[in-house]
């Protein structure tokens, strides 16, 4: 069978609006996924607790723990990990830390200037260092990232040939599963094997509109999103990390 996996979903413990139980129920009701990953900003604990709840509820889809890590160069999604990885480090250090515990690293919303994203310069630098991301998010239903997907696809096709990942970047339950990664099989193990062999396809559908989620919830999203990194990492470290991206060595930001 051809499975569908959404590998980029947020909860109300970060910059989302709904808890993971509501997300689970929505995905199950719509029967839209075989694999779901919760990837909260700089907080693996949310995904680990979500996995415990998923196990108790006997859901029909499989689950992958993940986290969206803030590196100095932009966000990076780590999947299949069990231990936290430090934020606000150079992306090369983050890649090494995730791979050291057997995890996979996915580039979310590449090239987007609307959020902290890994750009062409970082992609070139990582490739020149002999390191490799495990996939790149090349199809998304998120309005903030979708406009950059075509450029990212062209760059990946020309230079990097990373496995194409589809993911919703959902911040409310109704959006989970509106973009997905297609793979052969139905389990998290099947998905991982497909990513490692580059046998995946990125697909995006329509993002739910204001009518589906309500005006009040729609207006709340940007406000919640602006505060998530400072709330997780502290205002001082967050502000200095922007400067550290260009001026400060990573060890200096880590001491803040």
Q: How confident is the model over 120-131, as pLDDT tens digits? A: 999 999 999 999
Mean pLDDT across 161-189:
97
Pick the range with the lowest mean pLDDT from 70-74, 105-109, 221-225.
221-225
The pairing of beta strand 104-107 with beta strand 35-41: unpaired
Asked whether residue 217 carries a pLDDT value surpassing 90, the answer given is no
Cα-based angle 208, 211, 213 (whole degrees, multiple of 5): 60
Mean pLDDT across 138-142:
91
Mean pLDDT across 104-130:
94
Q: What percent of the chain has pLDDT over 90?
A: 73
Strand order, beta sheet including 2-6: 164-166, 135-139, 104-107, 74-79, 62-71, 35-41, 2-6, 179-184, 201-204
Burial group, residue 122, by CB count within 10 angstroms (0-12, 13-18, 19+)? buried
Instruction: Report in angstroms the alpha-carbon separations of 139 from 55, 163, 201, 255.
Output: 29, 12, 9, 36
Write down the pTM of the prediction: 0.88
**What pLDDT score was predicted for residue 245?**
57
Where along the chain do its domains lie? 2-254
With bands split at pLDDT 50, 70 and 90, how would you rate the model's confidence at 142?
A: confident
21 Cβ neighbours under 8 A, 6+ residues apart = 53, 57
Burial group, residue 197, by CB count within 10 angstroms (0-12, 13-18, 19+)? exposed
Write out the CATH class of domain 2-254. alpha beta
Mean pLDDT across 220-235:
66
Asked whether residue 242 carries a pLDDT value surpassing 70, the answer given is no
Asked whether residue 256 carries a pLDDT value surpassing 50, the answer given is no
CA atoms within 13 A on the CB side of 99: 13
- DSSP assignment string, 184-198: ESSSHHHHHHHHHTT
Mapping DSSP to helix (H, G, I), strand (E, B) and coil, where does residue 69 land? strand
């Amino acid at each position: 069978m051809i499975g569908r996996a959404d590998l980029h979903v947020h909860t109300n413990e970060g910059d989302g609006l709904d808890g993971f139980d509501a997300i689970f129920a929505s995905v199950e009701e719509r029967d839209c996924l075989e694999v779901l990953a919760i990837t909260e900003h700089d907080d693996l604990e949310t995904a680990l607790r979500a996995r415990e709840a998923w196990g108790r509820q006997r859901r029909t889809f499989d689950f992958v723990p993940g986290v969206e890590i803030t590196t100095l160069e932009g966000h990076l999604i780590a999947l299949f990990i069990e231990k936290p990885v430090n934020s606000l480090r150079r992306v090369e250090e983050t890649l090494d830390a995730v791979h050291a515990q057997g995890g996979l690293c996915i580039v979310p919303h590449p090239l987007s200037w609307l959020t902290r994203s890994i750009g062409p310069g970082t992609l070139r630098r990582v490739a020149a260092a002999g390191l490799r991301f495990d996939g790149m998010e090349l199809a998304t239903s998120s309005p903030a990232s979708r406009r950059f997907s075509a450029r990212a696809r062209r760059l990946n096709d020309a230079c990097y040939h990373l496995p194409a990942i589809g993911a919703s970047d959902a911040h409310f339950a109704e959006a989970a599963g509106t973009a997905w990664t297609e793979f052969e099989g139905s389990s998290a193990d099947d998905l991982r094997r497909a990513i490692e062999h580059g046998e995946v396809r990125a697909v995006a559908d329509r993002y739910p509109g204001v009518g589906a989620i309500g005006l009040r919830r729609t207006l709340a999203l940007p406000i919640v999103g602006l505060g998530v990194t400072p709330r997780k990492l502290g205002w001082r470290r967050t502000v200095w990390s922007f400067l550290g991206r260009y001026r400060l060595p990573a060890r200096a930001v880590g001491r803040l």
